[in-house]
Each structure stands twice: as C-alpha cells, then as structure tokens.
Amino acid sequence: MTERFSFSLHATDGRARTGTISTPRGEIRTPAFMPVGTAATVKAMLPESVRATGADVLLGNTYHLMLRPTAERIARLGGLHAFMNWERPILTDSGGFQVMSLAELRKLTEEGVTFRSHIDGSRHMLTPERSMEIQQLLGSDIVMCFDECPALPAEHDRIAESMRLSMRWAQRSRDAFGDRPGHALFGIQQGGDKEDLRGESAEALRAIGFDGYAVGGLAVGEGQEVMFRVLDYAPDMLPEDKPRYLMGVGKPDDIVGAVKRGIDMMDCVLPSRSGRTGQAFTRRGVVNIKNARHQEDPRPLDEHCSCPACRSYSRAYLHHVFRSQEIISSMLLTWHNLHYFQELMQGMRDAIAAGRFADWETDFHAQRAEGDI
Ligand SMILES: CNc1nc2cc(C(=O)NN)ccc2[nH]1
C-alpha cells in the first residue's frame, strides 16, 4: 500500500498510453473511466456493484455535497469514503462547472462565485480556498482546482479573460491545498478551442506544478469534431509524466478518440443517466429498450456481455420493467452500461499494452451498426 500519489506509464501506442496511478486507497488502471457518484451514490447502484463493473475510482460532486448534506456533516461522519461505503479512490470536482450550470442568481467576481442553491434558494459562495476546504472535508483523494468553464462557441477575448481568471484561481487553489502527501491536486487547462490560449494555460499550470492535469472546457456544446481538433494538440501541451484527465466525456466513440489522443482519465454521467432513460450501450451500438420491437425479444441486450442484465434477463423483460417504471429497470440498465464502459477501457488498456490499438480501434468502429439496434 503506497502512502504517496504517483503515476507510472507502462506502454504507449501512438499517442495512446496505458499506466497506473497509485494512491493510498488503491490503484487506478489507465486509461480509466470514472462513474459519477453525484450525491454520494452512483444512482441505482450499490458500491460493490460499481466495483464489480471494474471501476477503480469514482467522481464526487462538490456542488451537490456542499449543499446537501454539507461537507462539514460528511466530515463529522468520517468523510465521503466511509459515508458512501466506497473505500477506493475518489476524485471530486471543484464545484466550478456545476455552479455555472445548476445554481441560480450567480455572481462571478475575482474572489469567486456567490449563488443561491437550486435546492432551497439558500445563499452560498465558492472560492478557490473554500473549494479546497470542502474537498478536504470530503476526504477526496484527487482534488480539482476551482476554475471557470466558459460555454462554446465563444469569442477569443471572452475565452482568454475566463482562462486567465482560472489560472489565477489555480494558483490560489495550489496555495490553499498546501502539502498533503497521498492526496493529489490536479490543475485544469482552459482556453476553449483556441490553440494559443490552450498553450498559455498549459504553461501557467506547468509553472505552478500539479500532480495531474485536466483538459477542461470541452464537451460544452462544441461537438465532437471541434473537441477532437482541440485534443489533436491540447493534451501534448501538458507534462507527459502526469495523468491527463478529460472532464465530462463522453459517448463511447468520444472516449476512444480521446484515448487515441493521449487522454488517461475520463468521467461522464452518460452510462448511468442514459441507463435510467432506457438507453443501453452495446458493442454494436445503442439499444433503446422502450422501443416496441423489443417487447417479445427473448435475446439479451448483448449475447457477448457477462453483466447481470445480459446473463439473466431478456430484452422483453427489460422492455417491460422500463415501461412499467420499475426500479429494477434503472438497476439493470445502469449496471449494464457501466460494465460496457469498463469493458471498453479494459479493451483499450490491453490493446495499447500489446501495440495493437489501431487494429482495436478499427474493430471498434466496424462493429457499430448505424442507428438503433
Ligand atoms: C458534460 N461536459 C462537461 N464539460 C466539462 C468541463 C468541466 C470543466 O472544465 N471544469 N473545470 C467540468 C465538467 C464538464 N462536463
């Protein structure tokens, strides 16, 4: 068991990399997909079920937990790991992104953001210092800098102004985080889809020095083509010996394209959220289980899948429990989707280690039927 945080690369294939992040709470195999546990739970899943899908690390949301039940209460109860019964690594975001997308009556200043809770209208403030305090109260293993994430498309000057604020906040986050062996602080590169601004941001973060570096400000409406164009240069601007984390991504083909371009970690609500809306991801594409064509289909979602949904239930059954809004519908489809996402990551880790990522990617795209299946 290591007392420190470290990252070691095992193999590269083109720009794709595979490695291990070692933390005091366990190892993270990269490239890694992090299920999102917003309110101290991965919705519709027990923690042991999340582990059974192959997840090494979860994401927790600072914005939600600071509002309810509050970071102070979670700290009094022993921290987020004990509270939610997940003893492996947890990465928490800083709250910056969600305060801009969920909170009401937001006011942004150099100091930070004041806002009203979307739950009960109570007034709150997030600053780099407060965000570090909250993430420390939660007991997070990987802490994210407090930053601002502009929506795209946006003008160069607007993106520049936002990125430079985020870099000043990155320094304040670093100063407030202090020296915490075994805990990591990740900086977040901003700069939208502007290569010069992405470079300026990377240099600013490198000068401050972080344990890992996120590519932020993407998957905010720019579309896959623009996102991949940015990923054609942005990750390589970041230190190659540290983990690179692409925030908020994504669909399976987004994930494959990001790993191909040097990304080591990702998180997305897609597998869990879409599971609750009846969307099942398979190697051949998406199954919309609510579609009437599944109502008497005795086959599993995916005959090659070993998850509980595919081992023991038919599409007809999944169609029925979804239509009936039965709780087991969310349980089975979420489990299946998280299992599929982890299988995708394992497939890429193996392919990169064997130097056959290009063949694996060709096969990945070849298997995907057009449209619904
Ligand atoms: C779903 N898309 C998406 N983009 C994100 C960007 C950030 C970011 O730049 N934080 N500083 C965080 C979460 C995101 N989720």
Concatenated DSSP letters of 117-177: -TTT--EEEE-HHHHHHHHHHHT-SEEEPP-----SS--HHHHHHHHHHHHHHHHHHHHHH
Cα 246 to ligand 1 centroid, rounded to whole Å: 8
- The three-class DSSP label of residue 36 is strand
CA of 101 to the centre of ligand 1 (A): 10
Model confidence pTM above 0.90: yes
Instruction: Report yes or no for ipTM above 0.95.
Output: yes
pLDDT of res. 270: 98
Distance CA 260, CA 254 (A): 10
Which one is catalytic: 147, 211, 267, 302?
267
Has residue 1 got a pLDDT over 70? no
| Dihedral angle over CA of 8, 11, 17, 20, nearest 10 | -30
Q: What is the pLDDT of residue 316?
A: 98
Residue range 346-352: mean pLDDT, rounded? 99
Average pLDDT over residues 172-198: 98
5: which 2 tokens?
């945080």
Residue-wise pLDDT for 357-366, tens only, equals: 999 999 999 9
The whole-number pLDDT of residue 151 equals: 87
Question: In a 3-state reduction of DSSP, which class is residue 30?
Answer: strand
pLDDT in tens, 6-33: 999 999 999 999 999 999 999 999 999 9
Q: Does residue 370 have a pLDDT over 80?
A: no
The token pair at 256 is 């494959």
Pocket test for ligand 1, best of 165, 247, 267, 270 (most atoms within 8 A of CB): 247
Q: Give the closest residue to 257 by CA, choosing from 241, 242, 246, 243.
A: 246
Comparing CA positions, the residue from 180, 22, 78 lying closest to residue 69 is: 78
Residue 248 CB less than 6 A away from ligand 1: yes
Question: Residue 75: how many CA atoms within 13 Å on its side-chain side?
Answer: 12
Phi, psi of 172 (to 5 degrees): -65, -35
* Residue 260: strand, helix, or coil: helix
